[in-house]
Amino acid sequence: MTDKQSGASEVQTAATKAPRKRRNMLLWIFGPALVLGIAGYVYVTSGRYVSTDNAYVEADHATIAPQISGRVVEVLVHDNQPVKAGDVLFRIDSQPLEIAMTRMQAQMETVRSLLDAGRAGYRSAQADLSSADEALRVNERQFERMKEMRAKGLVAQKDVDDAANNYANARGKRDSDVAAISKAEGLLGGLPKTKNEDLAGFKLAQAQYEQAKLDLEHATVRAPIDGVIGKVTLQPGDFLATGQAAMPLVATKALWVDANFKETDLTHVGAGQAATVEVDTYPGRKWKAHVASISPASGSEFSLLPAQNATGNWVKIVQRIPVRVVIDDQGEGPTLRAGMSAIVEIDTGKQNSLLGRLQGAKEPEPQKKVAARD
């Protein structure tokens, strides 16, 4: 009975060892193949995608400031309020501006009246000159006749003297009328037939009126773009000078991401390449984007105190180059806000494989060099 049991156990042991050998053989075959496959995938894709978490969402900022000075009488917005372009933000006291516009309007009408009077005086002076010319001709002929008759002894010398005096008076009257025409032309800028709207004096008065009218319109300050109002500290009664900052406005459209890549990551990066953006606020949500432009210099070059690399204690540090990435589908999904931290990944299209090298992956076009002038 003992021999039968031992024989059965040997058969059972042999039966269990066979599948184990097959599993070990499969592990030895497929294990290295899986490792090689993963390594190949990493090798192929390692040079194609570059990413950085040193990236932040950016947007246009507008500092709202009045174009005129005055006392604030009404504030119509509050912190974090969305506004549309053209919405009223606050108003400045318009009463002084209304008075100024009324004064400029009255001044313009006064100038118009003076020009009309000058034009009427010019026409009157022209009529007087025509009459004076005719009187001068008559008195000149009379004087010549008197001189001829005196030579024949037909009239007395007194008659000749009277004719000479009349002739002199007519000539003086004509000279006076010529001066009156010159004066009228001077009031009309030398252009008596030109319309009031084309004369320099009227243009000046009209420009002053239009400026006063524009200042009155600027008393109502409106939003220049769609956006969200930042922190509002403005209160009715505050006095604002021209150009003084009143409140910030952050645009809600045309958002982009400034990604600061290491200079060693930009070997194959170029404008127009596809990218993805993931914002820390919304994990797992990705936005499609593309590379819009690459900064011409590193971030340190634009600092107030640029690095002095020509020193004895120089240490090499990998620099960061700002890359502007524009979000293609920013209107979809959650709301993005300026300043949010992001992760940007760029598809350079560079195939790090033998097949990709043989096919010749598209490289970013080098920038054209500008010849330096002496």
Q: Is residue 350, in this structure, part of any structural domain at all?
A: yes
User: Same domain, yes or no, for 152 and 183?
Assistant: yes
pLDDT (tens, 9 = 90+) of the chain, 374 residues, equals: 455 445 555 555 555 666 666 676 767 777 777 777 776 666 655 567 899 999 999 998 889 999 999 999 999 999 999 999 999 999 999 999 999 999 998 988 888 887 777 777 677 777 767 777 777 777 777 767 777 776 777 777 777 677 778 777 777 777 776 777 677 666 666 666 677 777 777 888 889 999 999 999 999 999 999 999 999 999 999 999 999 999 999 988 788 999 999 998 888 899 999 999 999 999 989 999 999 999 998 888 887 777 777 777 778 888 899 999 999 877 677 888 899 999 999 998 876 555 455 444 444 454 444 343 33
User: Same domain, yes or no, for 198 and 151?
Assistant: yes
Residue finishing a domain among 186, 212, 238: 212
Q: Is residue 104, in this structure, part of any structural domain at all?
A: yes
Q: Is residue 133, in this structure, part of any structural domain at all?
A: yes
User: Same domain, yes or no, for 240 and 266?
Assistant: no
Q: Is residue 103, in this structure, part of any structural domain at all?
A: yes
CATH of the domain at 350: 2.40.30.170
User: Same domain, yes or no, for 81 and 224?
Assistant: yes
Q: Is residue 77, in this structure, part of any structural domain at all?
A: yes
pLDDT in tens, 347-373: 988 765 554 554 444 444 544 443 433
Q: For tokens 């009223």, what's the residue?
A: 88
Using an 8 Å Cβ cutoff, are 255 and 328 in contact?
A: no
User: Same domain, yes or no, for 49 and 197?
Assistant: no
User: Same domain, yes or no, for 71 and 49?
Assistant: no
Split into its structural domains, the chain has a count of: 3
Q: Is residue 336, in this structure, part of any structural domain at all?
A: yes
Q: Is residue 321, in this structure, part of any structural domain at all?
A: yes
**Residue ranges making up the domain that contains 70:** 64-92+219-247
CATH of the domain at 237: 2.40.50.100
User: Same domain, yes or no, for 103 and 206?
Assistant: yes
